[in-house]
Every structure is written in structure tokens, then in C-alpha cells.
Structure 1
Amino acid sequence: MDSYIELFHEGTWHRAASLTVDDGLVQFGYEASYVFGPLQNPPCVALSLPVELTRRTWTDQAVTPLAFLWDLVPQGRGRDHIAGLLNVPSDSSRQDLYLAQHGAFAPIGRLRLDTAVDFYNQHTAGMRPEGFTTQEMHDRSETFVDQLRMYNMLAAGTPGVQGIAPKFLLTQDEEGRWFPDVGLADEHARQHWIVKLSRGTHADDQRILRHESIYLQAAAACGIRTIDAPEYRDDMLFLRRFDREVDAAGSVRRLHQETLAALIGYHGFARSASLFALTERLAQVASDPAQAVAEFLCRDVLNRALRNPDNHLRNTSVQQNLDGTVQLTPLYDFGPMYLDRALISRTCEWRLPNGGSTDNWNEILETLALDDDVKAHAAGVLRSFGEDVLPALPHELRFRDADADIVEICKTAIGYQIPKLQDIDCRAAPSP
């Protein structure tokens, strides 16, 4: 099946590259009209694929520069919905890119596939959402439910957002009314949201969702970039999208985004990798390697300190700002996942070259294949994090009304992390 990869830049969708998927072979190439077109320095569709006039063919393999395509593949309930419309099995990895070619009509980031846009338009032809009020959404009114059902290719399961928990991509207009994202034209969009529901009906599922807001606020208090002003109300978590901006003139701007899985070239939905490899690749693409590495390592500390074992490859991403700056996205999918009944465990660890793993920060910093100044900066930031930030973390949780049992179990984990960070050798490190 043939598709065009379209990229949003300077207020317009551009046909950037062609994509052919055929029985395990994937062909990719930038369009000549894009390479030599009117754009000066046309943006790449992925950080691993510079803009050049070369057409390449890849077979199914563990590592590929086309791994960014799996960031566009529907997952969760959205995948099931689109697979049902196509009459193909939703649990087959061989259907991944075929589902993207029909479901990537409004994914996170600045890319889409033209065949998916056509597929969406065919299945919503003649239907125009009226929008709904905040109260109608909170009340789960018939208007709210009907419009999500009408646009459920986008909203009920959100093919554009990966993960298991139900998520809705919603946009507010000038009057504050809510719409399924693609159901509202850019010129009327003022705020873009992801609205999450709990992944199940168990009491702990709701606790996890409520504490995701608390955890994000606590992380922000620790100096970590997080989603702006998360809010939990009426059993829903409201998160502002960080891949969308609306400028002073009311124009929507879309920011490029890639998961760590895409950065290191892992296709499919593998969840596991060495944190050494991830950190080193992040340093290669980040505009400020020292800052990005230090923040990534502090996020790993927070995952351990706040008992969030869900650190798989797609729970961390980078974004490229309009000025070309590449940095970590704000922190997301961050909560007390140790409560999940699926018994989630850490999948990305500090795996040593000769086998085994470590949580000794001096050994980690020594092993990382990074410039000395990057490692020295990270050492200073980590030690300061352990001395000045982590001791206040239980208070930050209590201040935001975290459940007492969660605070207590996190206090133990925090207490375990503090001396490990204070033991870091910073003799060669500059002041953070």
C-alpha cells in the first residue's frame, strides 16, 4: 500500500515523503518537490532521516531508521476499532504499518499519512460535531457520548495516542466548547488537550489516575519540565498537549515529537533497552546534551523514588521546537504504577556491557560513553538533586493531598535514593 507522509510546517501541510509497505518490505523516499521546493531547509520527518533525494528499501529488522513510523501506529482501543473497520486482526504485528496507513490521520506531533486522512474522511463524511460544554463532559451527557461515538475513530480509544488507558484528544474553541480534535478547524482552536480516564474499574485504577496529577505537580516542584497545570476532576485527568501551540494570532503550530524507541531505531513495540544506549542517543540528538542528559537521569531517579516502574521506551520522547531546538518533552505518563494489578516492572535498566545491571551512579557515569563535561555536569546535578530536592519530596506529595499509604511507601524509596546520590564523586564536576 502506498501513502504520502505529510508534514505540518509554517501553517501548511506539505507532502514530504512517500511510503510503500508491501509484504515485509518498506520503501521510503523524500519527494523531489519537497527537497527542492519553496521551503528553505525543509524539516525532516524523523531525526534519523535527513532530507535528501534517496529512495531506500528496508526489510523487517530489529533496528531501522523508519522506527518513527511506529509512533504513528494506533494502539489500545483505537487500534481495535480501526482493525475492526478493516477486518484485520488487531493483535498481529504484521498489521502495524497497515493500521498506521489508515489510522495516522491526527497523531501526536507534526506528521500524518494521507491515506489515513482519506480513510477518516470517508467514515465521517457529512458529520459535523456541534461541540459540547464542560458541564456536558463532566456529566457524561448524551451530547458528549454521542459525539465521541460519532467520531470514535479519533476519540473513543484515540488512535492518535498510544497506550492502554482510554484517552481523548479534545480541542476547545474560542467559546470554550469542546470538540474531538479533527472535528474542529485550526482557525477556531484555542487549547488542545488529552483527557484521560482510568484504565479499569478497580479503586486502584482511579487512584493511579488521580495521583498522576499529583506526581506531575511534585515533579515540577523538583525542577523537572512537566505538563503545564495538570488537573484531575470528575474522575478525568486533563492534560494540556505539548505538541500543539497557538500563537498570539490564533494560528496552530505543531511540534515534531519522537519516542526514545524511534530515536534508537527500534521498530514494533519492544519495551526494553539499556539506559546507557538511550542516554547516549539522547546526547547525540539534543541541542544541549549536558542539560538533556542531566534531566533524563533525574527523571530516572524520580521514577525509582516515586515507585513508577513503567519506564518503557515510549514513555519518554523528545520534541523539536520551531527554532530547531531538540529537547526532552515535558514528563508524561508518570504515576504510582506500582499499584497497577498487572504487576508492571521496570523494562529499561542500566545494563552493564559485561552483563548484569547497576544502580551505582559513579559506575553509571563512568560507563556512559559521553564527553567528560557532559558527565561532570550530570554528576553535579544528580548530587544536588539528592541533597536539596529529594528530602522535600514527601512534603510535596502530602501538600498535594497524596494518599498517606503512597507517601509512606515513597518515603522508603526516597530514603534509599538519597545516599546513592550523595555518594556521587563530584570532584571534577562544575557547579550545577
Structure 2
Amino acid sequence: MNLTLQVHWENEWHDAGTVRFRKPENGLLGDPFFSYDTRYTVNALEYLGDFNAENLIDKTAVGVNLPCHFGGDYLNGEIAPILRDIIPQGASRRLWVKMMGYSRDPEQTIDTRLLSEGCIAPIGNLRIKEAAEAFAERLAAAAPAVRFTREQVCRRADNLIEHAHNLGIAIGGATGAGGDAPKLLMVETHDGDFALEGTVAEAEVKEHWLVKFPRGRKTEADMNVLKGEAAIYKTLEQRNFDSIKNTRIDECNGQYALWMPRFDREVVDGVIVRNGVESIYSMMGKIGDGAALVHNDILEALIEKTTKPQAKDALLADYLARDLLNFAVGNKDNHGRNTALIKRGKDIELAPAYDVAPMVLDPEGIAMTTRWPRELLQLNGEPNYVGIVVKYAGDLELATDLLRDHLVKLDNMTEALRRNGAPEAMLNAGRLKLNLAGEVLMALNTLIEGGPAPR
């Protein structure tokens, strides 16, 4: 079975190459092949301005581990982590499984069908051509696009999600948008109403939104997780921390909807720009959710793959601050699809922090899957951030100064979170460490003054 993988750049979709499944029944576990199309390679290298390049991994490449070049054939399953990023997953996959008539998930045996039917507009700038064409046919035969108000989206979440799946609009993508919490990809039109992405003409689109609803059984704890996430984003935005900005949370008769502008979409002079997005799992060559990762391995890969910031000590400081943020707000859900690369133009950098929620409140229990090695932990089990800086900094003084700049933004967050709507159940949770940034700041000051690193 063959599928065509498309990449969007310079305002159009390009046929990048062919995915070949030797054993379709094995899905992504069957080591699918991928080969770049020669004409596509010519266009991508011409856009780069260097026909001799062999390490083209920006948004014109399908992934950072699959450079676009002549003879770009990948025959050992290298494409599988890329496809895992864009295949319907989480709550979206469960609905697809139900729609296909299965009582339980057949796992990899339906991967090729999910790709060929569900990958019409995932997060990022990749899609499966056959899925997009099939969706266009369904859309042409359907009734005119339904428009909604924000209140209707909040009130009718379940009906809207089912409507989206009846149209074949699945949520996939590198950012974890396909996670356990139900979500919708919505567009806001210039008229101020809302529609499902892909159902209205691009010229009508003013803004792209990812709308997230409470996960689980929508218990009080589930609501608190969503309200806490909304408060975190507001607080981070006010402190100029690199995270999702201009979020909104709606409440309608006990129903909640968190609206988040999408960083993979921009509207520039009336034209939709699709930024590339690739998960850390994909960067590390992992397929399965819950795969264990080690932070220092990720850091080394980021230093190799990213182009911004150019000062790698700045990347180190940014990465450590994000990890500390997760500890501070009780976000244990730190798997490799909850951090991603964003590819804007010819640059590759860390995407804004997202999926930052107080998951310690989740009644199902969430375990961290990305960890520091034991030698970089303190005696209490927390990361030894000062020791990590000392170990990995190229310029210790620069790295320390940059990390301090980030941590000042994360210090003393309790009252700011409360003002921004964080529930008391979150603020009173003993497993949060909202004073952690201040503690690390003091330890950094001690280091600068010549004292020992904490143990």
C-alpha cells in the first residue's frame, strides 16, 4: 500500500514523497519506507538556494531525521515516528475506532486506514494527500458549513465532536493535540463566528483555535485541571514567558471550554501560513506513547537540530526553565509529544510551552515519562538544576544569567495564578512546588558567590 505525504510551504501543498507499507496490517510497526520525490527535492533545494545540501531539515523536510536531498530514500522505518505524530490519536482515535465499528482498538492493524482517511489537516504542515482528497469529496457532498458562536461551542461540545468525526475531521499532530482530553480544531471567521477547520474557505479565516474540553468523566477534578491550565497560561503570558498567549476559558452551565490560539497557523496578509511542528518523540525516533526519555539525551538532540537560539546556553536555560515549570505547577504529563519543535521559514526552535496543566489533580494518576539521570537529581529526588547548568553550560556565567532571567518569571506565582482563576484545589495541592523557582534562584546566587551546588 502506498500513500502520498504532502508538505505545505510557500502557500501551497507539495507532494513530498511516497510512504510504502510492505505489510499494511502491521501499520507503523511494519517499518514503512519513505522516498522523497525527485521533483520535490529540486524545488526544496532551490527554495533553500543550495543544490548540494544534504542536511535540509527545515519545514520543507518531512522531519529532522529525514533530510531532503537527492537519493533521499529511508528504508528502515524512519518515517514511522513522523506518521505517528499526524495519525489520529487519543480521544480522536477512540472516536474513529467507534466510527469504524470496532468495540476495541485494533491497534496497528488500522493505522493505514487512519492515515488514508483521517490525516487531512493535522497540527503542523504535513498531511496525507489521499485523506485530503477524500475529505474534499465528502465536504462537497455535505450541507453548507455550520457556523457557531463561542457559547454554542461550549454548550454543544459532545455534539460538535461527533459532527466533526462524521465529516472525517480527526485531530492529530505533534503537539499532543490528540491527547486524552477531547478537542476541536476551530477557525474564527472575519464575521466573528466559528466553524470546524477545513469547512470554510481559507479567505474567510481570521484566526485558528484549538478548543480543549475537560478530560475523563468531567468530574470536579477534571474541571479543576482545565481551569488550572487556563490560569497557568494567563500567568505565563503576563510574565512574558514563552507559552500560549491570548487564551480564553468559557463556562456555560457547568461546561468548560479552553480556547487556545494555534502557533502552527498564522494568517499573514490574508494568506494562511502553516508552520511545521514535530514532536520530541519524533525527533528522538520514538513511536509509542509513554516511551521513556532522558532529558540530557533530548538536550543533545536539540542542540544538534535547532537553529534558534544560536547561543546554545540560551537553549539550555530555556529547556531547564520549562522543566522547572512542569515541576512547579504539578504537570507530570511530560511525555515526548507535550514538547515540540516549531519550524518557521528556514528556522527550527522549541515551540511555545503548551499542555502545561496541574495533572497532579487528575484522579487517574499520571506518571512522568521524561526524567533526568540519577546523578543529576538531588537527595529529595528533584532535579539538581544548578548541577545540570554546571555540567552542560558552555559559558557558565552566561547560562546562569539566562536561567535566572527565566526563573524570575516563574517565582511567586501563587497569587497571580489565583487572580487568573486557578481553583483553590490546585493552589492548596501539596504536590505543587510553586516556590521551586525561588529556591533555584537562591542556589544559583550561591553558586555565583562561590558556594557549593545543592545536594
TM-score interval (norm. to shorter): 0.7 to 0.9
111-120 vs 6-15, which deviates more? 111-120
Match for residue 434 of structure 2 among 391, 397, 414: 414
How many Å separate the matches in 2 of 1:94 and 1:146?
28
| 1:229-378 correspondence runs (5 A) | 229-234=246-251, 235-247=256-268, 249-287=269-307, 288=309, 289-322=312-345, 324-352=346-374, 359-368=383-392, 372-373=394-395, 376-378=397-399
Of residues 70, 73, 77, the one that matches 2:84 is 70
1:12 match: 12
> What corresponds to 2:51 in structure 1?
none
Tell me how far 1:119 sits from its aligned partner. 3.6
CA drift of 1:328 comes to 1.4
Aligned partners of 1:295 and 1:178: how far apart in 2?
Answer: 35
User: CA–CA distance in 2 between the matches of 1:405 and 1:148?
Assistant: 29
Structure 2 residue identity aligned to 1:276: N
Q: Distance in 2 between matches of 1:411 and 1:339?
A: 9
Quote the offset at 1:168 in angstroms: 0.4
Residue range with higher mean Cα deviation, 164-173 or 17-26: 17-26
| Letter aligned with residue 198 of structure 2 | V
**Secondary structure at 1:183's aligned position in 2?**
coil
Q: Deviations over 1:197-219 (max 9, x none)?
A: 11132111111111111011122
Cα drift, residue 113 of structure 1:
0.6
* Residues 145, 200 of structure 2: 8 Å contact kept: no
For 2:47, the equivalent position in structure 1 comes to 40
Structure 1 match to 2:186: 170
Structure 1 residues 419 and 250, CA, compared in 2 at 3 Å: closer, same or farther? Answer: same
Aligned to 2:198: 182
SS in 2 for 1:22: coil
Q: Secondary structure at the match of 2:263?
A: coil
- Are the structure 2 counterparts of residues 66 and 355 from structure 1 closer, same or farther at C-alpha, using a change threshold of 3 Å? farther
Give unmatched runs, 5+ long, in structure 1: none
Distance 1:265 1:106, change over 3 A: same
Which whole-Å CA distance do the structure 2 matches of 1:233 and 1:418 have between them?
32
Question: How far apart are the structure 2 equivalents of 1:204 and 1:181?
Answer: 30
- TM-score w.r.t. the length of structure 2 is 0.83
Partner of 1:107: 122
**Which residue of the partner structure matches residue 27 of structure 2?**
none
Distance 1:93 1:270, change over 3 A: farther
C-alpha contact (below 8 Å) 2:228/2:421 kept by paired residues: no
Cα separation, partners in 2 of 1:384 and 1:57, compared to 1, 3 Å: closer
Q: Deviations over 1:350-405 (max 9, x none)?
A: 1147999761123323444xx613x553332334545x344421121122232234
| Contact 1:129 1:147 (8 Å CA) reproduced | no
Q: Is the CA contact (8 Å cut-off) linking 1:290 and 1:378 kept in structure 2?
A: yes
Native 8 Å contact 2:331 2:358 kept in 1: yes
Q: Give the direction of change, closer, same or farther, for the CA distance of 1:155–1:306 in structure 2 (3 Å limit).
A: farther
How high is the TM-score relative to the length of structure 1? 0.87
Q: CA deviation at 1:292?
A: 2.7
